[in-house]
């Protein structure tokens, strides 16, 4: 019975990975205090999330001045930095998050334009 339960859980997990359009996004935005650039990045990413991921995202804003251990653990070399933890693959974005198209492509919400 244990094997059946494990197999069932594994199948459910694998199915959840295949679901598209309903994934829960887990994002972390690393900022350095409440500088104008940090505030702009927070505003921009919140707007992008509300317009494109409403009800399907979790955004955690981390001030690396207040919690430097997070920056070290995540190997943050510049701020603001956004990390998409889920869905995989993990992605990092650096800057004030004003390039909406780049963020949407990086989050796999729109396809990359062909040149």
Instruction: Indicate if the pLDDT at residue 112 is higher than 90.
Output: no
Q: Which of 95, 112, 93 is nearest to 103 (CA)?
A: 93
Encode pLDDT of 7-51 as tens digits.
555 555 444 444 456 789 999 999 999 999 999 999 999 999 999
Q: pLDDT tens digits for 48-81? A: 999 999 999 999 999 999 999 999 999 999 999 9
Whole-model pTM: value is 0.78
Average pLDDT over the chain, rounded to an integer = 86
Domains annotated on the chain, with CATH = 24-106 (3.40.30.10)
Give buried/exposed letters for 73-107 (b at 16+ CB in 10 A, else e): ebebeebbbbbbeebeeeebbebbbeeeeebbebb
């Amino acid at each position: 019975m244990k094997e059946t339960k494990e197999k069932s859980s594994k199948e459910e997990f694998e199915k959840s990975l295949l679901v598209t359009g309903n994934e829960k996004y887990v994002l972390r935005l690393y900022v350095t205090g409440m500088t104008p650039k940090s505030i702009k990045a927070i505003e921009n990413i919140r707007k992008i999330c509300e317009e494109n991921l409403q009800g399907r995202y979790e955004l955690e804003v981390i001030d690396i001045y207040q919690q430097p251990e997070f920056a070290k653990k995540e190997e943050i070399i510049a701020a603001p930095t956004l990390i998409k933890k889920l869905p995989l693959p993990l992605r990092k974005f650096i800057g004030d998050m004003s390039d909406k198209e780049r963020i949407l492509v990086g989050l796999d919400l729109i396809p990359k334009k062909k040149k």
